[in-house]
Chains A and B, each alone.
Chain A
Amino acid sequence: MRANPGGVLDIADIIGRDEFIARMWDVFNWNSVSLEADRRVGKTSVLRKMCAAPPAGWEAAYLDVGKAHSPTEFAEIVAAEVFKRLTGWNRPTVRLAEYLSPPMAGSVEPIFRLTGRDRPRDGSWKHLLTAAIEDLVEQQTEVGRRVVLLFDELPWMLQAVAIRDNPLAAAEILHVLRALRQSWTAGRGFRMLICGSIGMHHVLRLVDTYAAPLNDVTKVMLPPLSRVDAIELARRLIAGEGLNVEPGSVAQTIADETEGYPYFIHLIVSRLAVDSLLVTPERVRELIQRVLIDPNDPWELKYYRNRIAWLYPRDGSLPLVLLDAIAVAERPVKLAELQESAEHAGEGDAKKVREVLRLLVLDYYLSRDAEGGFAFRLPFLRQWWIHDRELA
């Protein structure tokens, strides 16, 4: 197994997620899911693995809907995917039949395709979407299966619709999906998973809906790999790349330094492969140090600094004050100490401090331990922060 940071992994190479996937299928028994995680934790890989081997009684389809930029396009993408599954169904496709086009040259199968002329009039996308899902659910119910659609990059699509069309149209998609989840005809045989590269909370703010269109789904956070799985991944990648490794704890070091983020494990091993030297734990740490001060910022850590102003426009310097205080501390910092630091910096509003800390956790800067102490979620992010902010 070779390092493949950012690329598409072979399903067999997606390791350490079996337990999480089993739990997801368990959740689907009673509800749909909104999957949350920082970028590059491996959401898409999890979805692809779920889709590749659903348990008995489930029919799963993976759809990257980030490419859709209008409600109609979204409906068509879903319908096209459904149509693939309806092929060969012995019952006439009552609801979708009106959308079929003749076969392409060289093919005998009719295809699901809408040309400019055939495109449904404005608003009928809801009908198309509902028809497609109801057809599929009906078909699968007959063979004792329930349907789950894995919508990757849904927030991007909603953002695009809200910006290009209007926020109401985006809200309407969410409402239609909610209606489908709760429908008497389809709801019981239908689940969905939604996730994406940007947090749903940002999209909901943009869509500006008061109807809480996702309050019926279960929010699940995809964690980084457990330490054991992270070590196993590092070990397999080291073996796959044929690295010259000093016997001992290189895999553990990689797992610990990356806090189990699979992307960074792939990235580090891929870098070590190019360097072609004897790999020791020190060398791994040295590599990370080198990356942290590289002017090219290969891990794009500047993003964590630059987006502060955008994420917390009304909070002035408070986020920076808090992050600085946490960065220089050798152990997790308690709320009281952080409030003291904030007060010292002229930011004495205790409520505001608590709120900003909550958001910093949600936005993947920080994690909070069982005793309530705040620390950087990623050890190397903390190191970079110290370097970039020139903290002693």
Chain B
Amino acid sequence: MAGRAFVSRFSPNRTDPAVLEAIFVQRERLAEIWLERLRDSILFGAKHHLLAIGPRGCGKSHLVALLVSRLRKDTAIAERVRIAWLPEDETTPSFWKFLLRILRALNAEYKDEFPPPPRDQLADAADDSRTAVLTEYLLTRLGGRTLLVVIENLDDAMRGLKDEGQKRWRAFLQEYPVTATLATAQQLTEDVSDRDRPFFGFFQIEHLKPLTADEALSLLQKIAAQSKDADLVGFLQTPTGRARVRAIRHLAGGSHRVFIILSEFATRERLDDLVTAFEELLDELTPYYQERLRWLPDQQREIVEFLCRQAQTVPVKEIAVELYLSEQTAAAQLKGLKEKGYVVGASVGRESRYELAEPLMRLCVEVKDPQLEPIRLIVDFLRVWYDREGVEVMLDRLPADAQMERRYFDAALRAYRPGVPGPVEQALKRDLAAARASGDPEEMVRVLVELAATAEDSDRCTAVARELFDLGRHSEALAAYDRVVQLNPDKAISWYSKGAALYNLGRHTEALTAVNRAIELNPNDSFSWRDKGVTLLILGRYRDALTAVERAIEINPNYGVAWTLMGHALDRLARFTEALTAYDRAIELEPNPAIAWIGKGDTLNTLGRYAEALTACDQAIELEPDSAEAWKNCGRAQLGLGQFAEALRDLHQSLKLNNSDAGAIESLTETLILAGDWNQAESKLTIRFQLSRSDVNPARSWHLPDVITAILRASSDRAMWAYRVSRLVQIAADAKRLSDVADSLVRSLTRPAYAEVSLETLDAWAGVWQEVAKRHPDLSLAVRLFGVGVRYLKAKDERVLLDLLQEERAILRDLFGLAE
């Protein structure tokens, strides 16, 4: 760690203002508004009195120091104000002594401008006369400028002033409106909140909220960045880093001071500084919390002490039983404690559960002598900040004389119990429950990701990964499965699940590797073979896919899904009859064979057995009325049967269910052309070419070649062909998708339409395309291939292919299924 920025734990006014600005979090808006209020007080007649309330270490002084520094930096403002920043912990037994404190602070800051007041006029005088003298003196020295009194621990000052002093101060502020106040207090006391007190409603009060986990993270990141601690910055960006900060937030509350201390030791290897820092913190906080406890009535105090000993929220009933109180009494006392800010409660169903509002209050019941027993808070910190292995490594590295550190690491190690969730996991689970209750999906995912990153148990991590997967967050699920296989690399199911996540992310090759690993570990798992088959189908490796699903069926002959996949593989391999058999077997075995029926319908369409295809599709629709694929196949069957109206109805239904299926749009276009509605067809073509490439289905569902042949079939007028072909080409060119047309033109050679027309018609049709290609050179190659293909169709003589180069020839050979 290079050149750590100095951030004072207890006195932000000793920290460089530039650093204070750089590490300021959470309260930017408040600081901005309060600065404006103070500027107004300094420059105009209005005088604002601002009071920030929050427990020790919550960043009050940071806010104050920042505001004062900003005021001092503004020279126009600085000239118009005199700032009396009163030292903390001085007593204020009366108003005239309060005025003396102000004058002393002004003297410390502005030296001769505010010399000490004349002692002779104060000695032997009555208090009210002293007040008059000091008031006069102060006003004279101010010379019309605004006085800004900065006072921390306002509650202490108010207590000291008592009713009389408070009334004098209030009268001073009202009679001489030259003073603004910037104050802090640890809690809201009756002196400012009770309507019968002089300062009721006088201050603009801001209850400073503790840091949230995200804000704590932001604070640590800023300190790390300020200290140029790249390691810490990097670590805090990882889910593990975030999870640990979250856990510390639960352990210690959102205290700024705790996180500032943490920032100091986060990447250090030695603990001595940390222990010292925490001991100082405890020294400061313990009496504060003990005093706060002492203010409570007995029953409330008992409840708080009980909650100090609990590690989680506790239902009212349990509190009542443990403390021998009636449930009604316990509830009433808890309500009082909630109002006083000692506890926070939440309802789970009809049950109210409570916990400490400030977790650091647990210090009250902590061991008082850290020499005898390690401080639990530090032990818990170690458990949060290091995993078990980390603690063991630290222990091994300790020199023989590091007794104190050994005590702490031993204690941390002893606290790990197999099967019992550690503090990080506990914290994350609480946040997960809160995110679920508030219905915040993004927070849920964040917590799940952190749970996975910090999981020590592969089963628990698997459960988290599965939840992420079920939420459709495949990328996060994949990271979780990575952790699962890291925790237990020999578990087939983990690799299988990882493969599924990769598959859903479209990373098919990696998915195949993962599923292969699953098969290596458990070769007899039909699910893994099935997934391998699916992945290979996507990768276009139909033969390998067939082998994989055959293996799945070998393991489990009654595995319906595998039979469906076998149908798909055989269909892609053009083994249509066998595909139909496989689909039929799947239909027998599957409880819901909709996909098998869809596949069967598709194959039957390919075979031109449209009536049977229609029956298959009807079966599919009966099982899954919302299947766009089934409706599309139905539409294509109707088209095959020449039933254009029914085809249009079914294809519209398909597109209603999935409006981005390019195949369905193409089929609809084809139907519209054949039904004589060219204008509608053109508008569908425009939509089709606007679909992004990833939405365009390749291969089997590619029907643009049918659109091309539909133009031929729909008319015998060459001029009409020329117009429609040029429109088709222009629409594709406008969408920069001319290559789709080129590819489809060549593919159209295999369509039965060409077998049904005369040779002259074929020549004329090819001629139309040659004309169009003159205006669109990108089509030249395709049109040339198409021309040769037409000649082949006419002559059925392979020698015509010799007019093409070898690679070009290969394309047509492949298309016509000709052997080399």
Contact = CB atoms under 8 A, between A and B. Distances in A.
A375 B606 CA distance: 81
Interface in A11-31: 11-13
Contacts of B167: 66-67, 69, 153, 156, 160
A375 to B, nearest CB: 21
Nearest to A39: B195
B554 to A, nearest CB: 63
A113 B129 contact: yes
A247 B168 CA distance: 45
A285 B140 CA distance: 47
B49 A6 contact: yes
A274 interface: yes
Given A8-B174, A66-B167, A198-B196, A298 B126 contact: no
Contacts of A8: 45-47, 173-174, 177
A65 B177 CA distance: 16
Interface in B694-716: none
A5 B49 CA distance: 9
Interface in B36-74: 36-37, 40-41, 44-49
B194 A12 contact: no
Interface residues of B, number: 56
A115 B129 contact: yes
A65 B128 CA distance: 12
A107 B37 CA distance: 35
B40 A2 contact: yes
B136 interface: yes
B200 interface: yes
B171 A67 contact: yes
A180 interface: no
Interface string B11-53: 0000000000000000001100100110011001111110000
A106 B205 CA distance: 40
A208 to B, nearest CB: 20
B195 A300 contact: yes
Contacts of A10: 44-46
Given A4-B37, A10-B46, A116-B124, A303 B132 contact: no
A64 B175 contact: yes
B49 A7 contact: yes
Nearest to B180: A7
Nearest to B342: A295
Interface string A193-221: 00001100000000000000000000000
Contacts of A153: 167, 170-171
B204 A273 contact: no
B206 interface: yes
Contact of A274 (B30, B163, B164): B30
A296 B207 contact: yes
B441 interface: no
Contacts of A63: 175
B201 A39 contact: yes
B37 A2 contact: yes
Contacts of A62: 174-175
Interface in B104-150: 118, 121, 124-126, 128-129, 131-133, 136-137, 140
A116 B168 CA distance: 19
B202 interface: yes
B752 interface: no
B201 A6 contact: yes
B119 to A, nearest CB: 11
Contact of B124 (A6, A65, A113, A117): A117
Contact of B193 (A9, A111, A295, A300): A300
Contacts of A297: 193, 339
A11 B45 contact: yes
Contacts of A104: 118, 121, 133, 136-137
Contacts of A3: 204
B174 A152 contact: yes
A241 B206 CA distance: 17
B513 to A, nearest CB: 49
A273 B204 CA distance: 12
A113 B204 contact: no
Looking at B125, B133, B188, B203, which has the most chain A CB atoms within 10 Å of its CB? B125
B341 A105 contact: no
A116 B339 contact: no
A105 B196 contact: no
A380 interface: no
Looking at A198, A297, A300, which has the most chain B CB atoms within 10 Å of its CB? A300
A7 B125 CA distance: 32
Contact of A66 (B30, B41, B171): B171
Nearest to A119: B126
A64 B171 CA distance: 5
Contact of B203 (A6, A40, A197, A303): A6
B191 to A, nearest CB: 12
A5 B201 contact: yes
Contacts of B205: 298
Interface in A34-76: 39-40, 44, 48, 62-67, 69, 73, 76
A67 B96 CA distance: 12
A48 B198 CA distance: 18
B164 A69 contact: yes
Contacts of B49: 6-7
B724 interface: no
B338 interface: yes
A99 interface: no
Interface string A163-184: 0000000000000000000000
Nearest to B137: A104
A5 B204 contact: yes
Contacts of A296: 188, 207, 341
A39 B45 contact: no
A391 interface: no
A8 B202 CA distance: 9
Nearest to A294: B207
A382 to B, nearest CB: 18
Contacts of A117: 124
A270 interface: yes
Interface string A267-306: 0001001101000000000000000000111101011000
Contact of B194 (A48, A295, A300): A300
A63 B176 CA distance: 11
A263 interface: yes
A113 B338 contact: no
Interface string B189-221: 000011110101111111100000000000000
Contact of B36 (A2, A9, A160): A2
A39 B126 CA distance: 32
A80 interface: yes
B196 A274 contact: no
A114 B130 CA distance: 10
Nearest to A116: B126
A294 to B, nearest CB: 8
Contacts of B175: 62-64
Contact of A113 (B132, B168, B341): B132
B188 A274 contact: no
B37 A44 contact: no
Interface string B748-790: 0000000000000000000000000000000000000000000
Given A104-B133, A105-B118, A296-B207, 18 more contacts: A2-B36, A4-B46, A6-B202, A7-B41, A7-B46, A7-B49, A12-B45, A13-B46, A64-B174, A65-B171, A67-B167, A69-B164, A116-B125, A153-B171, A241-B33, A274-B33, A303-B194, A307-B195
The 8 A-B pairs of least Cβ separation, nearest first, read A10-B45, A64-B171, A67-B171, A8-B47, A67-B168, A66-B167, A8-B177, A10-B46
Interface of B: 29-30, 33, 36-37, 40-41, 44-49, 95, 118, 121, 124-126, 128-129, 131-133, 136-137, 140, 163-164, 167-168, 170-175, 177, 180, 188, 193-196, 198, 200-207, 338-339, 341
12 contacts: A2-B46, A4-B47, A7-B49, A13-B45, A40-B200, A48-B174, A67-B95, A113-B129, A241-B33, A273-B33, A295-B339, A307-B195
